[in-house]
Amino acid sequence: MIADGFFIAGTAVALVSVLVCVAAAVVRQPPNDITILSVAAVELFLLVYGAAAAVRQAGGEAVSGEGWEFWGYWLTALLIPVAAFWWAILERSRWSNLVLGAVGLTVFVMLYRMEQIWDGALPA
């Protein structure tokens, strides 16, 4: 698989989010502005990623795999930070930071799969 700039940027955003959220859980902090904003950055990246993918597809660059599968992954990935945000708001414990940290890891895995679908690489 050849990683493009969007995948690398998404990996960086997701990794920073995971580190921030896990560090907050380790020091026994409840969810705060920093952890919530790190997950919001993941959501913002996914919105930009989706817009860029739509522009790429409209410009004639076809998805090598199934288009519905790519967009299904994207839509699911888009919902995960929102669900974790609501979890963190409703249960303000340090464990909610681990839920927020799981967002970055989950989105990274989904980005990896979306990259495989886009490039037509066989799943690892």
Per-residue pLDDT of the chain (124 residues; tens, 9 = 90+): 566 888 899 999 999 999 999 999 999 888 889 999 999 999 999 999 999 999 988 888 777 888 889 899 999 999 999 999 999 888 888 788 999 999 999 999 999 999 988 887 655 5
Nearest of 12, 117, 18 to residue 64 by alpha carbon? 117
Is the pTM of the predicted complex or chain greater than 0.95? no
Q: How far apart are CA 60 and CA 64, in angstroms?
A: 12
Do residues 64 and 117 touch, judged by C-beta distance below 8 A?
A: yes
Domain boundaries of the chain, sorted by first residue: 5-108
